[in-house]
Structure 1
Amino acid sequence: MLNSTISIESLQNPRIKSLVKLRKSSERRTQKKTLIEGCREVERALEGAHPIDEFYICHKLLNPKSLSLISTYANKNEISVYNCTESVFKKITYRETSDGIIARAPLIQCKLTEISLSKCPLVLIAEGIEKPGNLGTLIRTADASGVHAVILINSKTDLSNPNVIRASMGSLFLLPIIECTTDECFSWLEKNDIRAIGLTPEAKQLYTKNDYTLPTALMVGSEDQG
């Protein structure tokens, strides 16, 4: 059980207005915050040790699993939990259906120098990805495939976009994701003796034929150019 909650009943509450602004990429950059919606996504953020600033819940929509999840974390870390009326909660949610939990959290910020590499790392490099859903799916697939890190070059979409978080099913909190320039990326690959392999639908060799006992970076391009 939660030790305590703070009730919010007004749509004009300053906190609610601030959260609504986070729908815009420019505001997320300004506040350096984003919203994590859904029990699964919040659970993976906690699993990946991503910090949480505040929880916003709606008891009417909240399921027992979600309540247990945030109760344990919030009580232990003294995180504020705001209990919203259904109308207020619907104001800040971006999904048509919700399980009654949203977390406000810092943006994901990771540097190439912070990546902890295994002896034979497998890295995914994605350049110029435009659609949030596609980026989230790439990250989710990378996580499921055992990729150690994802590097984004010249990304055309915002990593903190709610649709990226949703499409990744929270996987973006479970592995390092770095945004950098092309020069920074290839300098890092060279420094760590990681070979780069480009992937294209026109390739004559299947990606499964590569020797992954060697440090490898798989490279994919944008949706329109591949």
Structure 2
Amino acid sequence: MSSLEARHRQAQLVVSFVYLGIPLVFLGLTLWIVSAAKEPDWLVVLIPLVLLAVGWWRRGESRLKPARWTSAGTAMGSLTALCTALFTGMLESGRLAAWFLPVTIAGAILGAGFGRYGFRTVMSPAIAELAESAYELSFRIRGLTRLRLSIDAERVALHEQIVVHTEDGRKKIEREKAYPLTAVTGVFDVSLSGAERLRFPVNLRLAPAGSPGPALILQVQGDDWVLPQNEAPAIAQILDRRIASARTH
């Protein structure tokens, strides 16, 4: 078994647990609580069943998109912990219900940990063979920035997460600048000294600063991106392979 196949199998086990295993644990805990209650409310069993159905649907859409796994784990873990804590109010010794907030936070942290573990299983360390996988690859840009690079079979994209203020309060949105892989004209890995002043084709809310270490240069449709990234040499190989594949299909 190759290293890539081993990563894939392990990551998919983790993904299945995040999207399906956590709701199943939730369902088991709910059934136990309801069956032990003196005045059971069996309608609450519908909540983990709905979460399981949502998890099944979302897993199909997200199983090859590692960037989504951490947020999915956070959502699944927090909802499971919150509802389980509240459901214990049906029990005579339901003191856990009073601690629903710290229990919810703990569930979110555990769920996020599983999602992050799945992400790292696939993505770390970056290897050129990832280009042959079906994953939408995602790489965080080094420094105090919310910028990340994604590469799928047909395009390369820069994503920036920003916070905007609306009438309803603060809201996180993601801006995207995408290019078809066939439009890429140059991919290079370089080493920065840290003295460089980086310029970008579009305005970024929190642009990465020049810092010592590897960087990826991406030239596409007249735009030049200099992206500080510690795994730039491997990412350049991944891009070269996926570009070659896109141009032959």
Specify if TM > 0.5: no
Structure number with larger C-alpha Rg:
2
- Higher RCO, Cα 8 Å, sep 6+: 1
**Larger helix percent:** 2
TM (norm. structure 2) is 0.29
